[in-house]
Amino acid sequence: MMEEQSASYTVDDALMSSGFGKFQILILSYAGIGLIAEAMEMMLLSFVGPSVQLEWKLTSHQESMITSVVFVGMLIGAYSWGVVSDNYGRRRGFLFTAIVTSGAGFLSSFSPNYLSLISLRFLVGIGLGGGPVLGSWFLEFVPAPSRGTWMVVFSAFWTVGTIFEASLAWMVMPKFGWRWLLALSSIPSFLLLLFYAITPESPRFLCMKGRTDEAVDVLEKMARLNNVPLPSGRLVSDKNIELDEVSGSSESTTLLTGAEESDSIDKDEGSDFGGFKSVGKLLAPKMIRATLLLWMAFFGNAFAYYGIVLLTSELSNGNRICAKEEVESVHSNNASLYKNVFISSFAEIPGSLLSAMVVDRYGRRLSMASMLFTSCVFLFPLVFSRAEILTTISLFGARLCIAASFTIVYIYAPEIYPTSVRTTGIGIASSVGRIGGILCPLVAVALVHSCHQTTAIILFEIVVFLSGLAVSFFPFETKGCRLNDTEVDMSMS
């Protein structure tokens, strides 16, 4: 028995022996392109909305809908692609997202009218909803001790995307207009399709589905590229280990035969097309507390993050209009908008550095809660003051903290769920976050438009504070823990 155990290894053992080498760098680069594509498609909303409103004489509600339909699409896409990835593989999940995002993003640049534009941006949102799939895929190739740090590095690609989009808008919009910006912003999604053929499937997913030989092939390629040997013996999954432990726990327990064990895996492989089985697991007594608290955290982070991005331009415009000052020319307003968004995007660089410093040192829960409560402090002066310099400093600091918190919640989420429902769990949590993104422009930004800045900021304060409380009650810390292939009880601390 001892010899049999010593002659086997898990995916975690293989990752630990391999370390973070050339193979993981390539995986990081590919996943990072996907995150850059998502960031660019989201950030362009800050520029396209005002330009389209002027060109097509839209109402403020119609302008808000250009942003909101993207989040509605992301809500649907995040759930759908999560279910697809947990049932048919991570690769298939991000293949479909890249096809939908790149195709609809490029076609939206040719939109002849408002209805066609919001329809195509809705499809872009469905594609963007698959973003968490790439994060889970990358996470499953990273050794546990350095997982937090490398996930922060991965999240930094979002910042690269936001800065690149702001720069692109600054160069393209004044001369060529919003259609060229939409077309050029779809290029990173096409790059995902270009290199798709050489991307490997997650060995953890393959093991969970009983496709051990395929998982070994991927791990062998990883070991060769990293120039290290794999552990000796045969590859086993956590599920097989758990079955072995259960079967040997008492004499009265019936031992599983090879056929029965295989049948167990086959049942797990059964189709869950609607995702109802996976959702049932997420809301089971073992997981429901963590799931509901995670939903609150995602909602608050998304509401605050996208709200602060939109408020960067809306607050200055709102202050000028509400103060009945002379309205500047369209060109001057646009130049100011590009500059403000460009500068505020740099807040995410120290945000990423801060999250990298604290996530593996102080843990996920304390880091997230601290960032959320600190962002409340930064936003608080805006309740009373409308001074431009204070507004800039407050929004810069709040975006820094929210960016750091958002980074960490995307690290924590895949760590608390087992492999069988990991992308579904993240997808649904991300969908709840998209609800925050949908409500933000329709509620908070609308308040600024109607000269109710104080009410808008108080609303942000309440949402962010409640999210911080939710994070404080997360059931357990995942710092340095291995990823689970089987369900664990998360109902108690």
Nearest to 50 by CA among 70, 66, 38: 66
pLDDT band at 485 (very low <50, low <70, confident <90, very high): low
Q: What is the tens place of the pLDDT at every residue in 359-410?
A: 878 888 999 999 999 999 998 988 887 677 787 788 889 889 998 898 888 8
- pLDDT tens, residue by residue, 201-228: 989 888 888 888 898 999 999 999 999 8
Residue bearing tokens 């408002």: 114
pLDDT in tens, 400-449: 999 889 888 888 888 888 877 887 888 888 888 878 877 887 776 677 76
Per-residue pLDDT at 260 exceeds 70: no
Q: Which residue has the tokens 């077309």?
A: 183
With 0-12 / 13-18 / 19 or more C-beta atoms within 10 angstroms meaning exposed / middle / buried, residue 251 is exposed
Please state, for a pLDDT cut of 90, what percent of the chain lies above it: 25
CB 232: neighbour CB atoms within 10 A?
A: 9
Do 355 and 367 contact (CB within 8 A), yes or no? yes
Return the axis-axis angle of helices 288-322 and 453-472, rounded to nearest 10°.
160
- pLDDT value, residue 65: 84
Which residues, in sequence order, are CB contacts of 387 under 8 Å at separation 6+? none
Q: What is the pLDDT of residue 262?
A: 37
Which pLDDT score, from 0 to 100, does residue 323 have? 53
CA distances from 44 to 10, 184, 267 (A): 43, 11, 44
Amino acid at 98: A
Distance CA 94, CA 129 (A): 10
pLDDT given for residue 26 in this prediction: 94
Please give the average per-residue pLDDT across 65-73, as a whole number. Answer: 85
The structure tokens listed for 202 are: 């997650």
**Is the model more confident about 465 or about 13?**
465
The strand ranges marked E within 21-146 are none
Contact in structure between 148 and 411 (CB atoms under 8 Å): yes
Q: Tell me: pLDDT of 13 over 80.
A: yes
Q: Among 464, 468, 481, which Cα is nearest to 365's?
A: 468
Beta bridge partners of 234: 8
Specify the pLDDT at position 412.
Answer: 87
User: With bands split at pLDDT 50, 70 and 90, how would you rate the model's confidence at 124?
Assistant: very high
Of the chain, the end-to-end C-alpha distance in Å amounts to: 34
pLDDT range class, residue 257, cuts 50, 70, 90? very low
Q: Name which of 30-44, 284-298, 437-451 the model is least confident about.
A: 437-451
